[in-house]
Structure 1
Amino acid sequence: MIQVFIGLGSNLAKPLQQLKVAVDALGSLPDSRLLKVSSFYSSQPMGPQDQPDYVNSVALIETQLLPDVLLDHTQAIENEQGRQRKGERWGPRTLDLDILLYGSQTINTERLIVPHYGMQQREFVLYPMFEIAPNLILPNDKTLDDLISITPKNGLHKIQLSTDL
């Protein structure tokens, strides 16, 4: 089994509910097991600012699925939750699932780049990931602790959840 970190994000169509449904779907992946999920965080959008704030989280799973097969499954989850791929980078979306790390592997194919190309600069990835894996060392030998120490929160904050999402 390989440990895989998956970033979750949504800013449309009840984002908290989108992430909750996505976490449940990740827990139902074949040949996989959901190990941990960070708190949900509110973050400012990366790209165009004329969109709602995002809700983000990071999940840790163990899987026997190959990277491309896992990507097929995460994209199917996005599609089931109304994701429309418009080619607009950093635009609003119902659900975004990113494979951040796939064990300690480096993957660079037309469909998938792992470690995720922007994760080391993104507070909405680093802080939730640090919450569930504070001692993690990335494939480039950088520690999450070191990255957190140089990455400002930019307004990122935990969302206090009620029990009835």
Structure 2
Amino acid sequence: MLPTTLPSEQAAALHECLISLGSNIDPEHYFDQALTILSQECKLLACSKAIRTTPVGYQQQPDFLNAALLVSTSLEQEAFRAYLKEVEDRLGRVRGAIKSGPRTMDLDMVAWNGEVVDEGYYQHDYVKVPVDEVLASSGRTLEPVKRS
């Protein structure tokens, strides 16, 4: 017997993205704002606790709050990466001469559909610790960075 309904060809595939968050300018406020925006515009699947970390690189700035989120989105990877930068801009992010300087919000894509896309996951505890917490709470695992 044929099905009475067919899956919509227009239905967008959902992708999962692990995001690293960091802020050291009024971080509690900007974390709340980022969570509000991302949970309204994406599907929030899991969230780590925030951890306080010392700056990496430029040291003459306040400590950071860092966390990780797992979200699902219908956007493709590069469109979602651009979306994260747009959310940073909405949250008042100013990109100055010092790349590792103070910021209201930094949103970095760590993994896409279970595959690590940012080697910072392996290099920095401020990324790895919150991401590992999200992985443990969501039952997800990661595949290593694929080298070309």
* Structure 2 unmatched runs, 5+: 1-13
Which amino acid counterpart does residue 120 of structure 2 have in structure 1?
A: G
Cα displacement (A) at 1:48:
1.4
Residue of 22, 27, 35 corresponding to 1:23: 35
Cα displacement (A) at 1:87:
4.4
Counterparts of 1:118-129 in structure 2, within 5 Å, are 118-129=120-131
Change (3 A) 1:104 1:131: closer
Cα displacement (A) at 1:19:
0.9
Structure 2 residue aligned with 1:138 = 142
Cα displacement (A) at 1:136:
4.4
For residues 115 and 58 of structure 1, the distance between their equivalents in structure 2, rounded to whole angstroms, comes to 15
Counterparts of 1:142-157 in structure 2, within 5 Å, are none
Larger radius of gyration: 2
Structure 2 residue aligned with 1:148 = none
Which amino acid counterpart does residue 128 of structure 1 have in structure 2?
A: P
Residue of 57, 82, 85 corresponding to 2:92: 82
Structure 2 residue aligned with 1:70 = 80
CA contact (8 A) 2:30 2:105 kept: yes
Aligned Cα RMSD in Å? 1.7
Structure 2 residue aligned with 1:153 = none
For residues 81 and 75 of structure 2, the distance between their equivalents in structure 1, rounded to whole angstroms, comes to 9
Q: Secondary structure at the match of 1:70?
A: helix
For residues 18 and 81 of structure 1, the distance between their equivalents in structure 2, rounded to whole angstroms, comes to 7
For residues 119 and 25 of structure 1, the distance between their equivalents in structure 2, rounded to whole angstroms, comes to 24
For residues 111 and 35 of structure 2, the distance between their equivalents in structure 1, rounded to whole angstroms, comes to 17
For residues 38 and 87 of structure 1, the distance between their equivalents in structure 2, rounded to whole angstroms, comes to 30
State, as a whole percentage, how many aligned pairs show the same letter. 30
CA contact (8 A) 2:110 2:117 kept: yes
Which amino acid counterpart does residue 142 of structure 2 have in structure 1?
A: L
Structure 1 residue aligned with 2:11 = none
